[in-house]
Amino acid sequence: MAEAADLLKTPLFDLHVELGAKMVPFAGYDMPVQFPLGVMKEHLFTRESAGLFDVSHMGQAWLTGPDHATTAAALEALVPSNMKELKPGKQRYTVLLNDKGCIIDDLMVSRPLAGKDDGRLMLVVNAACKDNDYKIIAAALPENVKLEIVEDRALIAIQGPKAAEVMALHAPEAADMGFMEVRSLEFNGISVIASRSGYTGEDGYEISIPAGAAEAVAKALLADERVEPIGLGARDSLRLEAGLCLYGHDIDENTTPVEGNITFCMQKRRKEAGDFPGGERVLKQLAEGTESLRVGLLLEGRAPAREGAEIRVPGTEEIIGRVTSGGYGPTLGAPVAMGYVPSGLSETGTKLELVVRGRALPARVAGMPFVAQRYYRKPK
């Protein structure tokens, strides 16, 4: 484990310490795993009210080209999603693929609304992957599209059913945004970039803030009794209940978007053309299916099955798959997991066993999300 002194600090480090966070090393950063409320209450509070997360460890970068078509085309060479069709002010989830069609990282891409930003796309990538992502992206770009790594901004998320009403007190325009929309906003006079998205299954925003103003924004949100600071522990249980993948665990460089069951990130034009890294293989999988598939798993008992737990067919000894994420779901009040199983056993309701400490626990394949997503859809 890295020494604390070697760890990077986010612009909110001092605030975390002041709030009594338990700090742990994560992806090279000294990050809050929990606050005095504790993982369980932080999780439940986020689902009932609103939680504030520091996700400044994640990588923020701009792709900058002469116009949207050029920049989008450059990014499309690396990902299987439509980027040309991404409308101004919209955000999209996608994956960076390698030549095998496997996932190098998953990321969010935003197209700014403002005309002067035409040709710019904002990327948010995983902390542990960012250096590798940047190397791969930069190497693949044409001469007229540049990668600008953003080092001077914090990223926070406010998530939960009361996130929007609290956000609106400081940035009234945020209320008009729909799910997966992005805007440049004034938050108490501070220029921020907000997207209406997150990693909890709840309504909420991710807010990119100049580093020097991050504490002011976080404190303004935390001053509201409807908001509590939330650590990485509850972030993980929230995203697990929402059925969302954690890169490096549920999807990685050995899984394609088809195996990972995230083909929703691939739009029709790309699925037909296969014009992305590993396209031939991914198209074949789309047509013929895959050997294995990521599924949700619910256990009958109370014992959680964690990452690495073997998956078996009841009455047999053969290991047919492994749990890639698992734990206790506080909102569900039961253990939840996801993992890979042979496609023939991926049907919802299929009875399986998860091996925990040598004991085979009854489980079944379950649809995801485990807890209904509550994203904000704008009235038409």
C-beta closer to another protein: residue 257 or 335: 335
34 binds another protein (CB under 8 A): yes
Work out how close the CB of 237 gets to another protein at its nearest, in angstroms, rounded to a whole number.
6
328 binds another protein (CB under 8 A): yes
Q: What's the angle, vertex CA 125, arms to CA 120 and CA 126, rounded to 5? A: 170
**Span interacting with another protein, options 9-17, 33-41, 84-92, 96-104, rule CB under 8 A:** 33-41
Q: Give yes or no for a contact between 322 and 341, defined as CB atoms under 8 angstroms apart.
A: no
Q: Give yes or no for a contact between 107 and 23, defined as CB atoms under 8 angstroms apart.
A: no
Query: What are the tokens at 256?
Result: 């394609």
1 binds another protein (CB under 8 A): no
What is the maximal distance between C-alpha atoms in the chain? 63
Query: What are the tokens at 242?
Result: 């929402």
Please, which of residues 52-81 interact with another protein by CB under 8 A?
none
Residues 59, 119, 160, 330: which binds another protein (CB under 8 A)?
Answer: 330
Work out how close the CB of 126 gets to another protein at its nearest, in angstroms, rounded to a whole number.
20
How far is residue 272's CA from residue 279's CA, in Å, rounded to a whole number?
10
Q: Give yes or no for a contact between 276 and 76, defined as CB atoms under 8 angstroms apart.
A: yes
How far is residue 323's CA from residue 53's CA, in Å, rounded to a whole number?
26
The angle, 0 to 180 degrees and rounded to 10, between the axes of the packed helices 163-170 and 214-222 is 120
Work out how close the CB of 92 gets to another protein at its nearest, in angstroms, rounded to a whole number.
31
Going by C-alpha positions, the residue among 94, 43, 6, 16 that lies closest to residue 277 is: 94
Please, which of residues 197-256 interact with another protein by CB under 8 A?
233-234, 237
Residues 39, 180, 265, 336: which binds another protein (CB under 8 A)?
Answer: 39
Work out how close the CB of 236 gets to another protein at its nearest, in angstroms, rounded to a whole number.
8
The angle, 0 to 180 degrees and rounded to 10, between the axes of the packed helices 232-241 and 39-48 is 60
Work out how close the CB of 348 gets to another protein at its nearest, in angstroms, rounded to a whole number.
25
**Span interacting with another protein, options 137-145, 191-199, 298-306, 336-344, rule CB under 8 A:** 298-306
Q: Please give the residue ranges that form the binding site for another protein (CB under 8 A).
A: 33-34, 38-41, 43, 233-234, 237, 302-304, 306, 327-328, 330, 335, 357
